[in-house]
Amino acid sequence: MKKETKPKYSTWQNIGYVLQSAWRRDRYVVFTMIAVCALIPAIPAVAMFLPKTVVALIMENAAAMTLISAVLAFTIAGVIMQSVKSYLDSTMQARRIGLRIWISHDIMKKSMETDYANIENKAFTDSKQRATEVTMGNSTATERIYYTLENIGSNILGLIIYVILLIQVNPLVLLLTAATAAFGFFIRRKANKWRHDHDEESTGYGKRTWYIANLGDKTALAKDIRLFALTGWLNDVYSSYAKLRHNWQRRVQTRQYLADAADCMGAFLRDGAAYAYLIWQVLGQNIAVDEFVLLFAAIAGFSGWVTGILSDCATLQRQSLDYCRLREYLEFPDSFKREDGEPVVCKMGKTHSLELRNVSFRYVGADEDTLQNINLTIKAGEKLAIVGLNGAGKTSLVKLLCGFYDPIGGEVLLDGKDIRVRQEATSSRNSQYSLELSHRTLWCSHLKRQGE
C-alpha cells in the first residue's frame, strides 16, 4: 500500500502564491478575473428575470409596447454583458498563456542555477519531471487555475444572489441541495487525493518510456541498437512500462467516474425534490404564477451554483496539488549560497593555484566514499594527467576542483583560501556553504597557462 503523504502547501497557500505571481507579472489578469466574476452570475440573472417580468405584465394586461420594451431592455442588457465577457475572455487567454510560460522559465532557471550535485540527484530529477508536466499545455494547472478561481468567485456570488431569491422556499429543499452537492464533492476530493499520493508511480513509468522512446535519436546508442539487435527487446520494455502507465490511468479514471456518478445521483434527488415542492405550492395557490416561473428557474440555478462551487473546489484542490509539485521543485534546497561569496577577480601577472587538502567525498545514498583523504596541489601552467579505473573517482575529483561538489571532509583551496565560506563560525560539518568559484576563474587560469 502506498503511504499517504500530506501536501507541503495548503490550497489557500497556493492560491496566495498564484495571485501574488500574477500580480507581480501581469496585474491585468487579476483585474479581469474580478470583472468576469461579476459578469458570470449577472448574465443568467438577467435571463431568469425576463420570463417573470413578461408573465407579470401579461397578468396585468399590459400594452403590447410595454411588453416589447421590457423584452428589448432585458435582451440588450444581456447582449452587452455577454459581449464584454467575451472580449475579456479573448484578451485573457494570451495573458494566461504568458503566465504559464513564465513558470516554464522559472523551471529552466532553477535547473541552470541549482547545485550541480542536484542534477545527479534522483529526487531532484523526479521533482523536475513532475514540475515540467504541470506546464506542458493549456489544460495544465499553471494556466487553468485562473479559470478555476474565476469560476469559484462567480459561483459564490451567484449562490448569494440565488439564496436571497429562494429565501421563501422551504429550507429543507436548500439543505438537501447543499448536502447532495457536498456528498459528490467529498468523493471527488478523495479521488484527487488518491491521484496525488500515487503520482510518483506514474512519473516513474513516464520517465522510462520517454527515455526508451528517445534512444534511437542518439547516434552512439543507435549503432549499438543495430549491432546487437536490441530493437525487439527495447520494444518489449517500452510496451511493459506503457501498459503499467495505462493501468494507472484506468485506476484514476475509475475513481473520477465514481465521483461523476455521485454528482448525477445527487442532482436527481435535489432537483426532483425542489421541483415537486414548487409544483405543490403553485397548485395550492401559495405562490403566484410569475413567482413560480422565477423560483422554478432559480432552483435550477441554485443547484448549478452549489454544484459548481464544490466541483471547482475539487478541481482547485487537484490544481493545488500540482502547484505543490511545482513549488517543491522550485524550492528544492541548494547547499551553495553564491550570493554570499567573494568574487574572484583576474589580474594580469597574478597566478592562481588550486589545492585539495585531506578531501573526502561520497555521493548521496552511497555506502562508501568515492574519494578519501586526497591531497593535491595544481599550480598555474602545470600539466597533470588523472589516471584510474572506471569508477575510481577521476570525474568526481575534477568536479570537486571546479567547485561543482562540496566535499564531506577536507578543504578545497583557491590561492590558499577555502572556497567555502561558513555562514557562522560555529557551524557544523553539515552547514550550508557559500561558493563563488565561477567559470571566470577557470578561464583566467587557462589564459595564464596559455601565456606561459
Sorted by where each begins, the domain ranges of the chain are 11-330, 338-451
Bridge partners of 378?
Answer: 354
Give the long-range contacts of residues 160-168, CB within 8 A, separation 24 or more. 161/41, 161/45, 162/298, 162/301, 162/302, 162/305, 163/302, 165/294, 165/295, 165/298, 166/295, 166/298, 166/299, 166/302, 168/287, 168/295
Q: How does pLDDT run across 274-329, given as a tens digit for each residue?
A: 777 777 777 777 777 667 777 767 766 776 777 778 778 888 988 998 999 899 99
Q: How does pLDDT run across 394-416, given as a tens digit for each residue?
A: 888 888 888 888 888 888 888 88
SS (H, E, C) the chain: CCCCCCCCCCHHHHHHHHHHHHHHHCHHHHHHHHHHHHHHHHHHHHHHHHHHHHHHHHHCCCCHHHHHHHHHHHHHHHHHHHHHHHHHHHHHHHHHHHHHHHHHHHHHHHHHHCCHHHHCCHHHHHHHHHHHHCCCCCCCHHHHHHHHHHHHHHHHHHHHHHHHHHHHCCHHHHHHHHHHHHHHHHHHHHHHHHHHHCHHHHHHHHHHHHHHHCHHHCHHHHHHHHHCCCHHHHHHHHHHHHHHHHHHHHHHHHHHHHHHHHHHHHHHHHHHHHHHHHHHHHHCCCCCHHHHHHHHHHHHHHHHHHHHHHHHHHHHHHHHHHHHHHHHHHCCCCCECHHHCCCCCCCCCCCCEEEEEEEEECCCCCCCCCEEEEEEEEECCCCCCCCCCCCCCHHHHHHHHHCCCCCCEEEEEECCEECEEECCCCCCCCCCEEECCCHHHHHHHHHHHHHC
Amino acid at 252: V
442 pLDDT above the threshold of 60? no
Looking at residue 117, its pLDDT comes to 83
Looking at residue 53, its pLDDT comes to 80
Angle formed at CA 427 by CA 421 and CA 432, multiple of 5 degrees = 55
CATH code for residues 11-330: 1.20.1560.10
Looking at residue 174, its pLDDT comes to 66
147 pLDDT above the threshold of 70? yes
Average pLDDT over residues 52-76: 83
- 423 or 104: which leads in pLDDT: 104
Architecture of domain 338-451: 3-Layer(aba) Sandwich (3.40)
Looking at residue 13, its pLDDT comes to 92
Average pLDDT over residues 132-137: 88
149 pLDDT above the threshold of 90? yes
- 191 or 318: which leads in pLDDT: 318
- pLDDT band for position 430 (cuts 50, 70, 90): very low
Is there a contact between 142 and 99 (Cβ–Cβ < 8 Å)?
Answer: yes
- 74 or 164: which leads in pLDDT: 74
- 25 or 452: which leads in pLDDT: 25
Looking at residue 338, its pLDDT comes to 63
Please state, rounded to an integer, the average pLDDT across all residues of the chain.
Answer: 78
Integer Cα distance of 375 and 356 in angstroms:
5
Looking at residue 444, its pLDDT comes to 41
145 pLDDT above the threshold of 80? yes
Task: Tell me how long the chain is.
Answer: 452
- 96 or 194: which leads in pLDDT: 96
Amino acid at 374: I
258 pLDDT above the threshold of 90? no
- 248 or 130: which leads in pLDDT: 130
Q: How does pLDDT run across 318-353, given as a tens digit for each residue?
A: 899 899 989 999 999 887 766 666 666 666 667 788
Average pLDDT over residues 87-102: 90
323: nearest Cα among 101, 6, 10, 92:
10
- 424 or 164: which leads in pLDDT: 164
Q: How does pLDDT run across 210-244, given as a tens digit for each residue?
A: 777 777 667 767 777 777 777 888 888 888 888 88
Pairing of strands 420-422, 409-414: unpaired
Looking at residue 2, its pLDDT comes to 47
Integer Cα distance of 328 and 316 in angstroms:
18
* Residue 248, C-alpha cell as written in the block: 494507472
Integer Cα distance of 325 and 1 in angstroms:
21
Is there a contact between 144 and 93 (Cβ–Cβ < 8 Å)?
Answer: no
- 201 or 439: which leads in pLDDT: 201
Q: How does pLDDT run across 6-55, given as a tens digit for each residue?
A: 778 888 999 999 999 999 999 999 999 999 999 988 888 888 788 778 77
Name the maximum alpha-carbon separation found in the chain. Answer: 107
Integer Cα distance of 240 and 209 in angstroms:
9
Burial group, residue 13, by CB count within 10 angstroms (0-12, 13-18, 19+): middle
> How many CB atoms neighbour CB 349 within 10 A?
6
Backbone angles phi, psi at 220, to 5 degrees: -65, -45
Average pLDDT over residues 132-149: 90
> How many CB atoms neighbour CB 371 within 10 A?
21
